[in-house]
Amino acid sequence: MKDGTENNFISVEMAPMEGITTAVYRSVYRKWFEGTDRMYTPFLVANQTHKFKTREKKEIGSCPPDLVPQILTDRAEHFVWALRELQKAGFCEVNLNAGCPSATVTTKKKGAGMLADINALRSFLDEVFIIKEREDLPEISVKTRVGVSSYSEAKEIADLYAAYPFSKVIVHPRIRDDLYNNTPSPDAFNIFYERIPNEILVFNGDLRTTEDVRKIREIFPGLSHIMVGRGLLADPFLPKRILRCEDTGGDVFSVDEKKTLLGFLEELYEEYERELSEGTAVLKMKDLWNFMEVSFPEQKKQLKAIRKSRSGSEYRMAVRSIFF
């Protein structure tokens, strides 16, 4: 049981989001914004080929110091292969995905599907950590949901993680069957909070404002690590606001912030256009705008123009019309 000691330190991590928080997004984000301590790659697949795809190699890039690669797999031997490979590339931590709720992933017993059979997950972790004891390998963290079809599974899962020397346990307190519906469960998170040390426990889920973070830390006063995904996409200043305990007030963005945000979006588009084609770059930006729209509730017409844009110039004009 924890003593409930309050902790003023807070560390903010950027959540992995397949197709959105890409290497390009992360590198442009670092240039324009501050406040995140760590970022994760969207999941990279480790399978019997024992090869990363070209796209996955780009995700790993030149091993930025704040980056943790995330692996999706169902077999300990493939995970160990990835640990060795990523060790060679210079990484000191690798994250295991035990949270992806997509049916195509979970039916193969990967992602949140790993949680369906606790004995299989225990064997997986035994095999991995025994090898890690003998070899110099990166630290291992896990990003997990709290069950597959019932919150009553949380205790067994938390007990299991507590038995291994993870460097971080990131908990998204929803079950697989929730997908992204319902709200994250403080009761389920509490089960992990009671068993996993504060220094390695990370809360993830629906933190969209400084106020959301304040509320969750009121419930869990020892909590010092949080991970933000959709909230950061909608408001890239969120990590800085959280660190400074600042709320946005009425308007989401100040005039200066709008300038920064536009600069960021223009550079991000240019980088995507350089790396992909014009059409794909526009599609990538539209994917991002699906998450940013909530920050521009009054600009329905301009948002529609973004959604309908078919070329780079149409897209850019539509974006500028939001800011001026």
Ligand X SMILES: Cc1cc2nc3c(=O)[nH]c(=O)nc-3n(C[C@H](O)[C@H](O)[C@H](O)COP(=O)(O)O)c2cc1C
Q: Footprint of ligand X on this chain (CB under 6 A)?
A: 15-18, 20, 42-43, 70, 97, 99-100, 143, 172, 204-207, 228-231
Nearest C-alpha neighbor of 115 from the set 194, 174, 47: 174
Minimum distance from CB of 73 to ligand X (Å)?
A: 13
Q: Which residue is nearest to ligand X (CB)?
A: 229
Nearer to ligand X, 17 or 319 (CB): 17
Handedness of CA 220, 116, 53, 96 (dihedral sign): positive
Nearest C-alpha neighbor of 99 from the set 212, 178, 23: 178
Nearer to ligand X, 21 or 309 (CB): 21
Cβ neighbors of 128 (< 8 A, separation 6 or more) are 76, 79, 80, 83, 140
Q: Can you tell me the distance from the alpha carbon of 207 to that of 223, in angstroms, rounded to the nearest whole number?
A: 14
Minimum distance from CB of 18 to ligand X (Å)?
A: 4
Q: Residue 179 phi/psi, 5° resolution?
A: 50, -115
Cβ neighbors of 244 (< 8 A, separation 6 or more) are none
Label residue 25 exposed, middle or buried (CB < 10 Å: 0-12, 13-18, 19+): buried
DSSP state of 41: P
Nearer to ligand X, 105 or 312 (CB): 105
Q: Which amino acid type is present at position 268? A: L
Nearer to ligand X, 115 or 312 (CB): 115
Minimum distance from CB of 6 to ligand X (Å)?
A: 23
Minimum distance from CB of 16 to ligand X (Å)?
A: 4
Nearer to ligand X, 213 or 281 (CB): 213
Nearer to ligand X, 70 or 309 (CB): 70
Minimum distance from CB of 287 to ligand X (Å)?
A: 8
Nearer to ligand X, 19 or 165 (CB): 19
Q: Can you tell me the distance from the alpha carbon of 315 to that of 318, in angstroms, rounded to the nearest whole number?
A: 5
Residue 64 DSSP SS3 = coil
Q: Can you tell me the distance from the alpha carbon of 148 to that of 251, in angstroms, rounded to the nearest whole number?
A: 39
Nearer to ligand X, 97 or 106 (CB): 97
DSSP structure string for 86-134 = HHHTT-SEEEEEE----HHHHTTT-GGGGGG-HHHHHHHHHHHHHHHHH
Give the end-to-end CA distance of the chain in Å, rounded to a whole number. 53
- Using CA atoms, how far residue 1 sits from 5, 150, 167, 285, in Å, is 11, 24, 20, 45
Nearer to ligand X, 209 or 302 (CB): 209
Minimum distance from CB of 79 to ligand X (Å)?
A: 15
Minimum distance from CB of 291 to ligand X (Å)?
A: 8
Minimum distance from CB of 137 to ligand X (Å)?
A: 21
Minimum distance from CB of 248 to ligand X (Å)?
A: 17
